[in-house]
Amino acid sequence: MVNANIENPFRSCRMSLDLTQKQLAEKLGVSETTVRNIESGRKGTSLEIMKKTAEVFGRPVQEVFPNHPFFKIL
């Protein structure tokens, strides 16, 4: 689970666009529960969803998901 005192880029991007979790889920074609789990850090996500999310946010994937294990091996 993500500590509330640590910046969460996923949540910050979503909120900067004034999107609810439900609205983002609809744009990504996933459930609201999936968005909630990604945002809270309870669950990872696929590269496909990461790419779609970055497109919706207009940000690079690595900026939205900086702590994803995929980027630790690069």
| Domain chopping of the chain, boundaries | 9-72
- Digit-coded pLDDT (tens) for 2-43: 444 457 899 999 999 999 999 999 999 999 999 999 999 888
User: For the whole model, what pTM was predicted?
Assistant: 0.82
What is the distance between the alpha carbons of residues 18 and 3, in angstroms, rounded to a whole number? Answer: 22
Mean pLDDT computed over 53-67: 93
Q: In terms of DSSP H, where are the helices of the chain?
A: 9-16, 21-28, 32-40, 47-57, 61-64, 69-72
- The topology (CATH level 3) of 9-72 is 434 Repressor (Amino-terminal Domain) (1.10.260)
Give the per-residue pLDDT at 15. Answer: 96
